[in-house]
């Protein structure tokens, strides 16, 4: 019983990081109606950035976080102008395909450089013991940092002028343009933020689990599941749903082989998409503007 | 009637060229290259019915190919079914499965559908890799004895090739027939504006489910043939993400929504790929090249090659669909 509880708690810690990654997707979707299919590749980019910074440059593991965050943001802004700007406002087919194409390029470059071997970022922190069970310090730290970043994002979106501009564009792009908000630059900013969240989530995952260049697909799918559970375009929902997914993972791992996890998550995903396409949170509240 | 249209005879000429070219002088190297081209054309023509006509991206089209391969190979190895029966059964089973999936996920629209197809791919691959009767992650190996009824391995490869070319031809004819039908018009209307189409009486969920299922049939048979040819099947080969993405690249390169486009794109892409694989600089960058190509098409020439050709020679529209 205690084992199951420990497994669930650990799942919640990891789930918070899934939530962080999903906030990246949901932010971009909410602001510009684009599903960012470079998400998985950017998670992996965060992993390898941490790997290179720690391994080659000798940066302490958690000091890579601000570097990855800033780097992810710059890359994201660049990606927006390269691949998304021209397809804004076109049918979803076009932005799906253009971000998918960038994803192919990134995964192709990654496999050419690193192959498909397993890598890991050496991170060790003292764990927290509960009876016979010990929670790895890295998991606690990852969940803690996720909380900090989520709070910072909330503060940015709701307490700063620029954040208000992002929300205004998300609400109604033409109206925002009319009151003098430079919408294209705000879209680029939002895309950069979304990518930065993905890469930081990647960096945090790298401190917990080994990874390959191709890990992005599985984490991208998890992010989609989380995003759909929380409702597309809803950052708070994404964080809550991430924790919920972690909880489900923690609940199932003692009983089901790990390799089935993706199948279970996929079934969950389809069932939620069909039954409550607005996200699970819509079950609890009537209507509230996003 | 479809036989009266000049385009039908263009399709027939393509198929004939595929059939005759390698037979001249027993050119096995050419045949192996054309096998891949035929697979690309089959996959791209079928994805085009969803992508090009109905405007829905299916990132998981390779699931049909892989599952078809698994069904057929499993029927042949575990239940000793003859090739033809195993292929047809594989096609029917996968189509039926696609219809069941389709009725569920095609209630979703636009991006939600696209996201769920990514899930279909990952989910099915994870399922097959854990599924005991299909060998789990080690897959299924076929005994060489299975080639005997076709006259030994050397002759069997030719038989498989002709069957694949036949499937390719059927894919093109199907794609053309659908585009010319009332059903196809409904799909094109969905692609333009789904709400308007529904208002005008197009039964959109049913049409989408049917086209999803229809586009599964021939790729599943092609998968059966392809993996019968390799004599083994494993999850990473059957659900090869690269082939899945290349299928989309090929359809977009040739021109989504046209019948000839995917064939043209597949043929050119196969040539390009052969050149890339032998080039020392690019052999590791196949995915990168595919990605750059796709990005360039989406951003600058969304109509693909057929779009460019139509713009150069508008008369082409009258006979090349």
Indicate if the pLDDT at residue A272 is higher than 90: no
Please give the residue that has the higher pLDDT: either B126 or A76: A76
Query: Residue B185 has what pLDDT?
Result: 93
Strand partners for A134: A129
Contacts of B285 in chain A (CB under 8 A): 108-109, 112
A-B Cβ pairs (cutoff 8 Å, strict): 121
List Cα–Cα distances, B170 to A12, B11, B42, B210, B222, in angstroms: 52, 9, 9, 18, 11
Of B55, B104, B241, the CB nearest to A93: B55
Instruction: Choose the closest CB to B298 out of A97, A108, A259.
Output: A97
Average pLDDT, chain A: 88
Tens-place pLDDT, residues A86-124: 998 888 888 888 998 999 899 989 988 898 889 988 888
What value does the mean pLDDT take over residues B214-240? 91
Domain enclosing residue A37, as ranges: 14-214
* Chain A residues near residue B293 by CB distance under 8 angstroms: 101
pLDDT at position A176? 92
Q: Is residue A56 part of a domain?
A: yes
Smallest CA–CA distance from A88 into chain B, residue: B299
Local structure of B188: helix, strand or coil: helix
- All structural domains of chain B with their residue ranges: 2-239
- The answer to whether residues A76 and A194 touch, using CB atoms and an 8 Å cutoff, is yes
Distance between CA atoms of B165 and B163, rounded to whole angstroms?
A: 5
Q: Give start and end residues of each alpha helix (H) in A36-160.
A: 39-55, 64-79, 92-114, 137-159
Instruction: Give the residue carrying structure tokens 């018009």.
Output: B185
Burial of A115 (0-12, 13-18, 19+ CB in 10 A): exposed
State the average pLDDT over residues B214-218: 95
The rounded distance, in Å, linking the Cα atoms of B288 and B295 is 11
pLDDT for residue A285 is more than 70: no
Task: List CB contacts (< 8 A) between B302 and chain A.
Answer: 94
**Does residue A258 carry a pLDDT above 60?**
yes
Q: What CA–CA distance (Å, rounded) separates A31 from A187?
A: 7
B189: confidence class by pLDDT, cuts 50, 70, 90: very high
Confidence at A286, pLDDT banded by 50, 70, 90: low
At B164, which helix (H) or strand (E)? helix B152-180
Residue B228 reports pLDDT greater than 60: yes
Which of the pair, B241 or B13, is modelled with greater confidence? B13
* Minimal CA separation from B19 to chain A, in Å: 34
Containing B153, the helix (H) or strand (E) segment is: helix B152-180
Highest mean pLDDT among A86-95, B58-67, B271-280: B58-67
pLDDT of residue B2: 61
Please check whether residue B241 touches A, CB under 8 A: yes
A283 close to A272: Cβ distance less than 8 angstroms: no
Contact indicator for A245, A222 with CB cutoff of 8 Å: yes
CA distances from A43 to B107, B116, B144, B319 (A): 30, 20, 44, 48
Residue (of B176, B221, B207) closest to B321 by Cα position: B176
Residue B218, pLDDT > 80, answer: yes
Other beta carbons within 10 Å of B308:
12
Question: Tens digits of per-residue pLDDT, A171-227?
Answer: 888 999 999 999 999 999 999 999 999 999 999 999 999 999 988 888 988 898 898
> Is it the case that residue A245 has pLDDT exceeding 70?
yes
- Which pLDDT value is given to residue A195? 97
A105 contact partners, CB below 8 Å, separation of at least 6: B287, B288, B291, B292, B295
How many domains, in total, are found in chain A?
A: 1
CA geometry: angle B133, B135, B139, nearest 5 deg: 140
* 8 Å CB contact of B116 and A269: yes
> Considering CB atoms only, which of B116, B129, B290 is closest to A104?
B290
Residues A125-142, mean pLDDT to the nearest whole number: 83
Interface of B with A in 23-62 (CB under 8 A): 51, 55-57, 59
Count CB neighbours of B200 within 10 A. Answer: 10
Tokens representing A150 are 């989520």
Inside any domain, residue A220: no
ipTM of the complex: 0.84
Q: For position A290, what pLDDT does the model report?
A: 45
- B250 has a chain A CB within 8 A of its CB: no
Q: Cβ contacts (< 8 Å) between B290 and chain A: which residues?
A: 104, 108
């Amino acid at each position: 019983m205690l084992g199951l509880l420990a497994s669930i708690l650990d799942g919640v810690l990891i789930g918070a990081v899934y939530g962080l990654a999903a906030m990246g997707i949901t932010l971009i979707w909410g602001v510009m109606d684009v599903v960012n299919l470079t998400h998985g590749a950017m998670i992996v980019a965060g992993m390898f950035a941490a790997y290179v910074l720690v391994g080659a440059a000798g940066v302490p593991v958690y000091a890579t976080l601000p570097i990855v965050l800033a780097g992810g943001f710059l890359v994201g802004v660049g990606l927006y102008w390269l691949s998304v700007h021209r397809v804004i406002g076109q049918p979803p087919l076009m932005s799906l395909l253009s971000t998918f194409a960038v994803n192919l390029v990134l995964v192709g470059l990654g496999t050419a450089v690193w192959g498909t071997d397993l890598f890991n970022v050496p991170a060790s922190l003292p764990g927290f013991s509960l009876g016979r069970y010990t929670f790895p310090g890295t998991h606690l730290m990852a969940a803690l940092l996720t909380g900090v970043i989520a709070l910072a994002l909330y503060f940015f979106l709701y307490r700063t002028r620029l954040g208000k501009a992002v929300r205004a564009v998300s609400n109604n792009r033409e109206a925002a343009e009319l009151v003098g908000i430079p919408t294209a630059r705000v879209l680029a900013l939002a895309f950069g933020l979304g990518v930065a969240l993905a890469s930081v989530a990647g960096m945090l995952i790298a401190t917990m689990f080994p990874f390959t260049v191709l890990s992005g697909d599985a984490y991208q799918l998890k992010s989609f599941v989380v995003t759909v559970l929380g409702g597309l375009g809803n950052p708070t929902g994404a964080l809550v749903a991430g924790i919920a997914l972690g909880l489900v993972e923690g609940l199932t791992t003692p009983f089901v082989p790990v390799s089935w996890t993706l199948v279970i998550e996929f079934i969950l995903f389809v069932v939620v998409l069909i039954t409550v396409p607005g996200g699970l949170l819509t079950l609890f509240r009537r209507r509230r503007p996003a | 009637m479809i036989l009266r249209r000049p385009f039908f005879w263009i399709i027939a000429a393509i198929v004939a060229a595929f059939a005759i070219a390698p037979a001249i002088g027993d050119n096995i190297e050419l045949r192996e290259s054309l096998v891949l081209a035929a697979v690309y054309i089959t996959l791209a023509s079928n994805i085009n019915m969803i992508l090009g006509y109905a405007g829905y991206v299916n990132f998981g089209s390779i699931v049909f190919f892989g599952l078809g391969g698994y069904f057929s190979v499993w029927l042949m190895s575990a239940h000793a079914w003859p090739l033809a029966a195993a292929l047809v059964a594989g096609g029917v089973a996968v189509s039926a499965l696609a219809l069941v999936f389709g009725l569920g996920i095609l209630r979703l629209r636009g991006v939600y559908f696209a996201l769920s197809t990514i899930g279909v791919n990952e989910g099915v691959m994870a399922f097959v890799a854990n599924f005991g009767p299909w060998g789990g992650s080690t897959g299924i190996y076929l005994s060489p004895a299975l080639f005997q009824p076709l006259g030994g391995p050397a002759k069997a490869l030719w038989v498989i090739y002709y069957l694949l070319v036949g499937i390719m031809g059927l894919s093109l004819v199907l794609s053309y027939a659908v585009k010319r039908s009332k059903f196809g018009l409904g799909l094109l209307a969905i692609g333009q504006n789904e709400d308007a189409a529904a208002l005008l009486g197009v039964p959109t969920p049913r049409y989408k489910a049917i086209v999803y299922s229809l586009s599964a049939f021939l790729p599943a048979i092609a998968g059966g043939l392809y993996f019968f040819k390799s004599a083994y099947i494993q999850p990473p080969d059957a659900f090869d993400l690269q082939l899945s993405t290349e299928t989309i690249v090929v359809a977009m390169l040739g021109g989504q929504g046209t019948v000839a486009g995917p064939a043209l794109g597949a043929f050119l892409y196969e040539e390009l790929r052969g050149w890339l694989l032998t080039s020392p600089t690019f052999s590791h960058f196949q995915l990168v090249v595919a990605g750059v190509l796709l990005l360039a098409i989406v951003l600058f020439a969304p109509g693909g090659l057929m779009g460019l050709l139509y713009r150069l020679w508008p008369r082409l529209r009258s006979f090349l669909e």
